[in-house]
Structure 1
Amino acid sequence: MLPDAGVVSPRGDVSEMGAARFFRRTGEGVYDMADLARATAKMASFVDGIKAQHPGRPVYGFGYSNGANILASVMIARPDLFDRVGLLHPLIPWTPDPAPGLKGRQVLITAGSNDPICPWPLTERLADWVAAQGADLTTAYHDGGHEVRREELAALAELLRGPAPAAL
């Protein structure tokens, strides 16, 4: 999508039945909030380090499912870290505190209205919260489930290829 971009792809440090995840869960859609806080701080520190190595360069983040969840948590805690954020099928089962630093930041949220992993009402609640923070929100929804569809990839490409971010 961006042939000249540097790509950094962190991997989660938590194993759940052999799958790498970014934080522990106690059940489907039930987060270990203390571990999420640990993972959020760790990821924010990681991104800070990348930004320090490349001063003045825009930083775009995108993630799918568990990757979208950790990215959303970092975006909520540290809205200053990313110029653009793409959240593909995020699940945020809590109401975040206000994050005025999201004002003007570009955020994409994609989802399936019949997603059994990320319930539709929680997706809508997150999108409403992001919009209320003043972010430049774009959504790409489909009538399917947890799979990523072509229209979501097109929306992500548009987010990533869009004009250079305005100074915030």
Structure 2
Amino acid sequence: MTYTFPHEHIFIRSKSSDQTNVLILFHGTGGNERDLIHLAENIAPDYNYFGVRGNVNEGGMPRFFRRLAEGVFDEADIIERASQLNSFLTEAAQEYGFDLSQSAALGYSNGANIISAINFLHAGTFSKSILLRPMTPLIPVVTPDLSGHKAMLSFGTHDPLMPPGEVDKLSGLYQNYGAKTKVQIQHAGHQLMQNDVIHASEFISE
């Protein structure tokens, strides 16, 4: 069966023919499905890669959900988009022949936030999450069970987009929901640093 997918995407198979691990990539605002490929190659060089483009348009820039203002998210839209993405990923996994529940997710900024939304609203979709410069997308009404999930959260000490207390808030949610949570603090703003790559590579190899 051939699916008509709601998201532009790219699937790059590993050069290792027996490789089954998949890293699903979620770009930041203004990015696309190819944005994190080079980053992924440095973090998990032997993986298969599945890049997704957000289908929300903000002034010509793709995103994964709407926001009402800088740092103010449209929670109703987050819930809807997370559900749509979860369905899309389920169908894509069938089409491309991989086990979604064993996949890892890598996201930057807006991409990291939609990963958290999927984790909180559709627990069990991913086995691991690498969240680079994340923020809390929403507090779920129903407490998710993330036991068995591993999450790495990497924050910048002077990230202008990060509200005060965000490190403890988001990492605390993951811990309270049962995820094995690792927090990394980079001496950086919203931009990524080499240490983000090093820590993410170590994390995904655990």
Indicate the TM-score class for this superposition, using the shorter chain for normalisation.
0.7 to 0.9
1:60 is matched with 104
Shift of the alpha carbon at 1:93? Answer: 5.2
Q: Does 1:99 align with 2:144?
A: yes
Match of residue 158 from structure 2: 114
Structure holding more helix per residue: 1
Residue pair 1:84, 1:159 contacting (<8 A) in 2 also: no
From 56, 75, 84, give the equivalent of 1:33. Answer: 75
Change (3 A) 1:79 1:157: same
Q: Which runs of 5+ in 1 are unaligned?
A: 163-168
CA contact (8 A) 1:88 1:111 kept: yes
Aligned residue-pair number: 161
Give, in whole Å, the separation in 2 of the partners of 1:55 and 1:67. 21
Report matched runs for 1:10-159 at 5 Å.
Answer: 10-52=52-94, 53-55=97-99, 58-92=102-136, 94-97=138-141, 98-100=143-145, 102-159=146-203
- The answer on whether the counterparts of 2:93 and 2:99 sit within 8 Å (CA) in structure 1 is yes
1:123–1:161 Cα change, 3 Å:
same
Is the CA contact (8 Å cut-off) linking 2:149 and 2:180 kept in structure 1? yes
Q: Which residue of 2 aligns with 1:4?
A: 46
CA 1:66–1:14 in 2, change beyond 3 Å: closer, same or farther? same
Query: Percent of aligned positions with the same letter in both sequences?
Result: 29
Letter in 2 for 1:28: E
